[in-house]
């Protein structure tokens, strides 16, 4: 099992991260756990592995000089040393420290949709490289387009409305963005710049072939989604 705070046990992180930030992460991770509980209750499925990332990824576009956006969370497929495919969720420490509980909950639900979408593609073998985005806006729009409909996953109307409100065009939370800019980036807390086209991962065909879903409810949900998609395709 992956420990959510394992990165905060690394010497190099302990050397550069203020103790006050580490303490806040340890205290406020309860909001992440609460969000996961709500997602599991509303979906009747298990949440995937996740961890808190201390180094904030900032997405920057060559076409939009000076334009950058914090990646507060990412769903990342990885290939293990045993050539097994795992889908994990990376949560930014800045989100945990500065995000309101509702925002954190919305992010956890949004990333769960990415997890389901990846599981759907990997289990069917229908996985292709997404077109690379050349601007931050396009990347956010692409993020929304590559998601299953929250109504097909969650039975909680409040949670569905929260996702739709917070993620109309990427994560919409000006207070979080401002705090992250002023209290994380400008204070030179750990961050790194990535390009929109880097927000994808190369996965071996062998690991995709070996991918197995262990959550029975997720298997059944994917069958239901596939059946509904087939019906819609026939009508069109």
**Quick one: which of 13, 7, 171 has its CA closest to 98?**
171
Please state, for a pLDDT cut of 70, what percent of the chain lies above it. 83
Q: Is 130 helix (H, G, I), strand (E, B) or coil?
A: coil
> pLDDT band at residue 201, thresholds of 50, 70 and 90?
low
CB 97 within 8 A of CB 182: no
| pLDDT tens string 100-131 | 999 999 999 999 999 999 899 888 876 643 43
Q: At what angle do helices 19-43 and 157-166 cross, to 10 degrees?
A: 130
Q: pTM, whole model, 2 decimals? A: 0.86
What average pLDDT does range 176-191 have in this prediction?
A: 95
Distances (CA, A) of 48 to 97, 136, 187, 228: 22, 27, 32, 24
**pLDDT at residue 235 greater than cutoff 50:** yes
Tell me the C-alpha distance between 127 and 118, whole Å: 8
Confirm if 108 and 35 have CB atoms less than 8 A apart: yes
Q: Is 189 helix (H, G, I), strand (E, B) or coil?
A: coil
CB 49 within 8 A of CB 2: yes
Q: Which residue has the higher pLDDT, 153 or 65?
A: 153
Residue 91 has what pLDDT?
97
Task: Report which secondary-structure segment, H or E, holds 106.
Answer: helix 101-124
Q: Are 58 and 194 in contact (CB under 8 A)?
A: yes
Beta-ladder partners of 193: 58
**Rounded-to-integer distance, Cα 158 and Cα 78, Å:** 32
The span from the CA of 19 to the CA of 22, in Å, is 5
Strands annotated E in the chain: 49-53, 56-60, 68-70, 73-79, 85-92, 191-194
Average pLDDT value over all residues in the chain: 84
How far apart (Å, rounded) are the C-alpha atoms in residues 179 and 165?
20
Q: Is-contact 10 182, C-beta < 8 A?
A: no
How large is the average pLDDT for residues 143-162? 85
**C-alpha to C-alpha distance for 5 and 26, rounded to whole angstroms:** 8
């Amino acid at each position: 099992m992956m420990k959510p705070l394992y990165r905060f046990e690394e010497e190099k992180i302990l050397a550069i991260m203020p103790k006050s930030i580490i303490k806040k992460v340890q205290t406020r991770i309860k909001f992440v756990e609460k969000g996961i509980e709500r997602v599991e209750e509303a979906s009747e499925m298990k949440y995937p592995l996740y961890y808190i990332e201390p180094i904030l990824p900032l997405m920057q576009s060559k076409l939009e000089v000076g334009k950058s956006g914090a990646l507060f969370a990412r769903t990342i497929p990885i290939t293990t040393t045993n050539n097994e495919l795992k889908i994990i969720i990376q949560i930014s420490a800045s989100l945990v420290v500065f995000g309101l509980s509702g925002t954190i909950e919305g992010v956890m639900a949004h990333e769960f949709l990415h997890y389901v979408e990846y599981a759907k593609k990997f289990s069917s073998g229908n996985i292709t490289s997404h077109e690379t985005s050349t601007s931050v806006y396009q990347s956010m729009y692409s993020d929304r387009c590559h998601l299953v409909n929250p109504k097909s996953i969650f039975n909680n109307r409040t949670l569905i409305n929260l996702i739709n409100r917070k993620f109309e065009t990427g994560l919409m939370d000006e207070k979080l963005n401002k705090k992250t800019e002023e209290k994380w980036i400008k204070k030179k807390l750990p961050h790194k710049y990535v390009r929109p086209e880097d927000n994808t991962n190369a996965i071996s065909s062998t690991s995709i072939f070996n991918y197995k879903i262990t959550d029975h409810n997720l298997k059944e949900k994917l069958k239901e989604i596939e059946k509904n998609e087939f019906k819609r395709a026939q009508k069109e």
